[in-house]
Amino acid sequence: MQTFDIIKESKPKKSFRVAKIIDKFDLNSEHIKEHFIGEFDLDKDWKIGLIYGNSGTGKTTIVKDLFSKNLIKNYIYKSDNIMDDMPKEKSVDEITKTFNSVGFSSPPSWLKPYRVLSTGEKMRVDLARAILENRDLIVFDEFTSVVDRNVAKIASAAISKAIKRTEKKFIAVSCHNDIAEWLEPDWIFNTNEMKFKYIRGELRRPKIEIKIYEQRKMWELFRKYHYLNKSISNSSKQFVAYYNNEPVAFCGVMHFPHPKVKNIKRCTRLVVLPDYQGIGIGNKLLEYVAKRYVAKEYRFRITTSTPALLKSFSKNIKWKLKSLGRNHKHNGIVNTSSAKRITTSWEYVQ
């Protein structure tokens, strides 16, 4: 059991303004004292904890007292790209695998400097860096506090999945409790009441419902997040997934010009916006589109080298590996965009 009994005291320097405030509000002392008392009854088997409460209830003070060595803090990002800011001893494969695990899955963003990333992307990069540093316990103060609440929930679900795949423990510290069911913590400490409670297994992540429409002229919203970052053919069929009335994922489909087989359709673009990555929205959109074409007696394929998709396909019996290699040919012509990377071709078999 970990207990704390913390007295936080501050004494502002005497000045004319300080004296006026003390006199105006009839303060009894120039000393400002705060007293925080509580306990954490932690067992050995927990994975995720949540500390939440209103501003000023002692969250940061408590975690600094109990978990100061484990706090994500003071990260310095000097490089002109995120990859080179990660621990030097880690391989490219280890880094990209960790990025994908926390839902930071856009290769173009991996080559950007930290300062230009969105707040949601920065949060995931900080967590990925902590995981790569081989910490046993990661404590994240102000978790999701400055991001949109929809983004906060999605990020919480993605990070929860990532932590549960590791041997690590994670504590989120936040002024919001709307993330609790998305994070699915084993325990919660409420600093409003200074109460600790085990809730393992009591919370379940809400179902993520998306609406999918065949919709054109949306590619520009998603274009910069695609790892090839190319234009899309005007003859393509385009599908957009919406979550809470916001467009979050895109799928583009073209006819596959096979010399012998005439009924093949191919996904040429699949993009999920960064703030919504890591929870399977792209897979849901792709499977919906694949089923739609298979129902019309088409064969449906996708060629990809994206680690997150490869991992998903390898575990899903509905997708069958058709080819693996560095070059893919269409009508005898090498596709130069994939000539320098290992690509895989998959077919939806239902």
Q: List, for residues 2-31, the tens digit of each pLDDT value.
A: 788 887 777 778 788 888 888 887 776 666
Reported as a pLDDT band with limits 50, 70 and 90, residue 332 is: very low
In the predicted model, is pLDDT for residue 339 greater than 50?
no
**Structural domains in the chain, sorted by start:** 2-198 (3.40.50.300), 211-348 (3.40.630.30)
CA distances from 131 to 94, 102, 136, 342 (A): 11, 10, 8, 27
Q: Tell me, rounded to whole angstroms, the distance of Cα 38 from its chain centroid.
A: 32
Mean predicted lDDT score pLDDT of the chain: 88
Q: List, for residues 245-258, the tens digit of each pLDDT value.
A: 999 999 999 998 87
Q: Tell me, rounded to whole angstroms, the distance of Cα 288 from its chain centroid.
A: 23
Q: Which residues pair with 197 in a beta bridge?
A: 188
Nearest to 271 by CA among 208, 222, 343: 222
* Per-residue confidence (pLDDT) for residue 321, from 0 to 100: 95
Beta strands in the chain (DSSP E): 2-10, 32-40, 48-52, 137-140, 169-174, 187-190, 195-198, 211-214, 237-243, 246-255, 264-272, 299-304, 319-325, 329-330, 333-334, 343-348
Nearest to 175 by CA among 141, 139, 130, 125: 141
* Per-residue confidence (pLDDT) for residue 326, from 0 to 100: 57
* Per-residue confidence (pLDDT) for residue 338, from 0 to 100: 45
Residues contacting residue 305 through CB under 8 Å, at least 6 positions apart = 338, 341, 342, 343, 344
